[in-house]
Every structure is written in structure tokens, then in C-alpha cells.
Structure 1
């Protein structure tokens, strides 16, 4: 009695070999189909990578500057007018236990700054003039690009430190004893220029005068308009809850307390929303690439009916035919996915280098990119594979 024959099982190496045969014989078509998927994946990887790199740089800045800074400013009175902080508010806030640093600025509304005394008074450029305390740089994380900050001697004399934007507006690139600005009808020497201050951007467009000099030369009333405080990290919320009452015990409702890092967090949330939108567009591109793979596989099945019939005649089972064309679809998608990941990482690296960031591409993004292409490939190749397996040998050979 004869033993019934059973079809040979395909090993993984055999599946890959027969699956890649169709790709090797049609390289141009394979390239164009893989390109569609690569565009979608590269767009998604680049969006995630650029966004992650930007957020990593922002987190680095926050870690360096600290998120324990609180800002106190006057609000509005009960009648809707502008409130004032008491002149003693800085000293009172400094008595709060967890507060480590306090510094203030006060707006000098009566003074305007000009590059020289020949400029018409109406063309001030809108640059604010602020009286500043000695502790301001250490409190807000400011550094000087040129020159120096005030000390106990220079803050009493007619000298100024320029914010980064104010220096550009006035056309001043460096500090020095021979560099002066015309401020409040008097000449003031530029002793320093600040770098941009991320946690206090209002300083960038301002001209800063020593607290004592502002009172002596510009008639400053010594009422602070912004008080910056640094507290222990573990006590930020506790200090925040008592700042208004401490700064102005008689009218705490007329005091505004904010956290500058919240603005940066809001910007990060906006970036995340934009990232979601761009990822959606990348997903659409990926879907279009999947349609291209499906179209390629359908055409491949139609063109290779004779091959399918011959293989069936030689003993290949329907399952093996399905596996062959499904493997071909997966390999085609994988080529596009891997190529897209490489291109996306390249785009992220180039952008990060241009912005002086560290390039960050989350591992889940790369793995997810390749995984999604395999899923798309499986879905796109399933119908053509099933259709190919259902062809009878005689039908396939007669129409091939």
C-alpha cells in the first residue's frame, strides 16, 4: 500500500528566496512602490525626530535655568486702574523661608532712550527703560554677552546694560567706556549687553539702569513693576500661594503671580499639537504608499499567472502560493520602511545640526515606522496573495 505524498514545508530561507524573486526581476517597479512608503515613513520619522529634538533642547534649557522661578507683578485695582507694588515688597518677599533669591525691575515711564541726542524725541523705538536690582542676573538666569553687570559702585552712576534686542535696535554691538546712549536727557555709558533671557524675555527689549541711578538721575519712584523670586523646588506651590499677600498685604487681590516656565510648557504643548497634525499628514502619505503596494501586487499576480500555474503543477500548495506573494508584499514594504527610517533620521540630524541641537529620534518611532510598514504590506498583499492561491493550475497555465 503506497504512502500518500505530503507537500514539502517551506523554511524561512525558502520563503525569503521565493518572495524576493519577483522583486529582483522588476527593480524599477519595486523602487517606485517602495518610494511611496519611504516618503510617508520619512515624513513621520522627521516630524517626530525634529519635535523630540526641539523638546529635548527646551527641557535642557529649563533644567539649566530651573523651573522654580515665580514672577510677581501689579494687577488692576478694584476700579480698573493700574495697581502698584509697595516699595517694600522685595524686602518682604525675601523674608519668606523657602525663597532663595529675589530681584526686581521697575519701569521708568518718564525716560526714553536714543542712540544720540540728535534723534527726534518722537522716534524712541519703543525701547523700555527699567531700573534693575543687583541680584537680577542670578535670579532670572541672565548672562552677559559683552561687558559686565552692575555692582555696588556702578549701579549708582549713569550706566546701562542693554537687552539683546535693545542692543540690536540701537545698533550697539559691544560695551565700552566710549559707547553711550542718550537716556532721559542725559548720557549713560553702556557697561554691558545681555544674552537672550528665555525665562524673562521682557528684558531682551529693555535698557536696564541701576536701581540707585534710576532714582537719582531719572526720578524713579522705587515701586517695582516685576519681582522675580527663586524658591526651593519642593516649595514652589507653597510660596506661590503666599506671594500675593506678602508682596502687598493691604491689597493681595491687586497682585498677579505667574510662573514663566508655564509659558514655555504652553509652547511645548502647541508644538505637540502641531506634531500631531504633521503625523496625520505623514499617515496619509503612508496610506497612499500602501495603496501603491497593493496595486503593484495585484499587477504582479496578473502578470505571473503562468508561474503560479507551473508551481501548482509541480506540487506547490495554495498556502505556499499565498505565503510567497504575502512575503513579497512584506519585503517590498520593509524596503520602503527601512529606507524611510534612514531618510527621516538623516533629516532630523541635519535639522538638529543646523539648530545646534542634539539629534533625538525615539526608538519607538523607528520601530513603529518599520512595524507600520509591515502592517500596511500585510494588508496590501493579503488580497492578491489569496487571489493567486485560488487559481487552479490549468486555468493559470491556459491564461498565462
Structure 2
């Protein structure tokens, strides 16, 4: 008789391990569904919290940007004689070439004065400045009109003007269509500007199209004030180079406005909301991890008979641990993907209802399912090791 061959230790192939890992989800569908639902709700909470907070943050920051936190004003500085030093003719174009600058507009000085009619004494100017203006001034400054309409390509070449609200009041103009005496000629008023906190000097100005001012009102085509809209995160960088860019020969003779208090408020708001998002996400992940761990511990206790039988049939402790760990990872992956979908739908629905721009950070979209798997693996590690250490006889006795 031939002696039996000695027993050899076998290794589970990846496909076998996957089939073992699917035993629990297949045979306990309700518990698996509820476990995955718990994980999904945890990840959905993370996605929803971060997405809604990010959407709210984007909405608030956009409002601050519209108010002018990313607006820089470049004006002539003063020379050694304390007289204003005009900006070079190329200043506006050079400033527009700064990479983070998104929009540029300007106003230019003229030699004209404005009066209600030709009977008003010359010395009674009402302190109203006549300015040449670019057509995109309203857009860059986010200005609005009380009445009438703004200049366009056609009217920029015609004797028409738009008055600031205080200028209209001083001139006694109450509605578009009235005429004022400007530079010795009659100009029709097409609109009246609403007050604008970003450029209060416009309130006491009469604005004329750049071509008309250059041809008939003594404007030399040089910008007297340049307004820059920059990338919100690059305001300090643009501020640092604006003077040298506008006037490379004499950068000290250029006055560059500092970012307003709105920029400080913007940065503080962004930091506070980011900290809040991270804190809430951490809490949601902690709750999700505790739920997964509880589910896995209960699952091990319920399946002690199965564990004992497999150990009695020769399964090693590592194989038992791998089975339960894989079950946890599978539940985490399913729950993570489901939570991502539910959370994203929640964010987009809430943002749509509030009229906000929907925003879900890309790292959250990627990290959601990944974190679910990692948390599930960590939460299932202790129950898996506990199952691996179970004695076959004790497990069968307690089944």
C-alpha cells in the first residue's frame, strides 16, 4: 500500500477570494442592503455638506467679487512738485496684458465743462467733471442706470452724454431726452447713472463716448483712471506690478489702489467656510465609520457557526480575515458610489432651489468612494481579525 501524500497548504486565488467575499452580501441581502445604505447615507452626508457649503461659498464670493473685492484702480500719482503726473498713453494697454487681469476699462479727462443751458455763468460749473469713457465701463464696475440707456458703438460718436446721479441733480435733469450745454454744444442726455460705491467719482461726472470726447472736447486719448478686474486670488500680485506696468519709467508716479476691505472679508469668509466644511465632513465620516464597524461586529457574531465550520474544514485564519475584510470593502465601495450619487443630486437640487451655482469640489467627488472603502476597511479590520482568531470548537459550540 502506498502511503497517503502529505497535506499541502493551499492559497486562495483572487477569484476564489472574491467569491468568498460575496457570500455574505448574497446570502444576507437585507443586512447587506441596510449596511450599504448606512454607508451611502454617511458618504451622501459628506458630499451634501461639502457641496452645499461650497455652493454657498461660491455664491457669497461671487457677490463679494461683484461688489469689488477684485477691483484695482490705477490713477496718476504726484511728482516732486506735488502735481499729478499723467499716465503714459500706453498705460491702459499695458495693464490689460497682465495675465491675471480679466477686464480693463478707463475714463479720460477732457477740457470741457457742462452747464444746464447757455445762460448759466461760466464760473458756476457745479463741480461736474466731463469724462471720456470706454463702453465697457458699466460692465467692469457693475454699474446700473436709474433711467435711460448707456452709450453704445453708435452713440459714442454722437453729442450725447450719460450723467451721474448727483450731476443730474445739480443740473436739474430729471429724465433722459433733456439737453445740457457741454463744451459749447448741446448734448442730449441718454441716461442717468445709479450711485456706485466702487467709483463714487462718477456720481458728479458727465460721461461722453471716447471718440466724441477726443474729437470735440479736448481729450488727448490718455486714460486718467484705469479700472482693473483681476482674478480674485491674484489681487495682491497685480497690485504689486501695476505701477511698474503702467509707467515703467516712473512707477513711483502711479497711484494703485489697495484692495478694499471687501478683499479681507472675502479671504476671511473663504477660510471660515473651508474650516466648517472640513469639520462637518470629519464628523460625517466618523459617524459612518462607527456604523460600518458596528455592522461588521454584528455580522461576525451572527456567523460564528460558519466561521467554525470553515476553520474545521481547514481554512486558515488569514483566509477568514480576508473574507470579512473583503465584505467590508465591497459594502464600502457600493455605499460610497451610492452616496456620491445621492449627495450630488442633493447638492444640485438645493443649489437650484436657492439660485446658487452648484459646486461640488472635485477632490470630494474622487475622495468620496475612496474614503468609503478606506473607512470600511478600517472599520472591518477588527471584526475580521476577531473572526480569524476564533477557535473552531468555540465557534461551533456557540453557533
Contact 2:72 2:257 in 1 (8 A): no
Partner Cα separation in structure 2 for residue 132 and residue 348 of structure 1? 49
Higher alpha-carbon deviation: 94-103 or 320-329? 94-103
Determine which of 240, 243, 247 is the counterpart of 1:240: 243
Q: Deviations over 1:48-98 (max 9, x none)?
A: 556767769979x99xx9x79534599xxxxxxxxxx97x66xx1254653
Contact 1:39 1:286 in 2 (8 A): no
Q: Deviations over 1:253-274 (max 9, x none)?
A: xx662257x9569626632541
Determine which of 119, 122, 132 is the counterpart of 1:134: 132
Q: Which runs of 5+ in 1 are unaligned?
A: 75-84, 106-128, 167-180, 213-225
Question: Residue 189 of structure 1 aligns with which residue?
Answer: 175
SS for the counterpart of 1:134 is strand
After superposition, the CA RMSD in angstroms is 4.9
Q: Deviations over 1:316-375 (max 9, x none)?
A: 22111111111111112222211121123323444565647475652x433322222221
Distance 1:242 1:306, change over 3 A: closer
Contact 1:19 1:327 in 2 (8 A): yes
Question: Residue 23 of structure 2 aligns with which residue?
Answer: 21
Question: Residue 44 of structure 1 aligns with which residue?
Answer: 46
* TM-score of the two chains, using structure 1 as the length reference: 0.61
Question: Residue 153 of structure 1 aligns with which residue?
Answer: 159
Contact 2:243 2:252 in 1 (8 A): no
Alignment of 1:170-189 (within 5 A): 183-184=169-170, 186-189=172-175
Partner Cα separation in structure 2 for residue 307 and residue 396 of structure 1? 8
- C-alpha displacement of 1:285: 1.0
Q: Which runs of 5+ in 2 are unaligned?
A: 97-104, 110-126, 177-189, 209-223, 232-236
Partner Cα separation in structure 2 for residue 380 and residue 386 of structure 1? 11
Alignment of 1:75-90 (within 5 A): none
* TM-score of the two chains, using structure 2 as the length reference: 0.61
Question: Residue 343 of structure 2 aligns with which residue?
Answer: 344
Q: Deviations over 1:201-260 (max 9, x none)?
A: 635998575158xxxxxxxxxxxxx943459999864442598998996xx9xx662257
Q: Deviations over 1:10-60 (max 9, x none)?
A: 33333233323323444444344334433342343345556767769979x
Alignment of 1:86-165 (within 5 A): 92-95=86-89, 97=91, 98=94, 102-103=106-107, 133-135=131-133, 137-138=135-136, 141-142=140-141, 147-149=149-151, 151=156, 153-155=159-161, 160=163
Contact 1:348 1:361 in 2 (8 A): no
Partner Cα separation in structure 1 for residue 323 and residue 194 of structure 2? 63
Question: Residue 70 of structure 1 aligns with which residue?
Answer: 73
Contact 1:345 1:361 in 2 (8 A): no
Contact 1:99 1:232 in 2 (8 A): no
Distance 1:133 1:274, change over 3 A: same
- C-alpha displacement of 1:292: 1.0
Question: Residue 123 of structure 1 aligns with which residue?
Answer: none
Determine which of 8, 11, 18 is the counterpart of 1:9: 11
Distance 1:347 1:297, change over 3 A: same
- C-alpha displacement of 1:311: 1.5
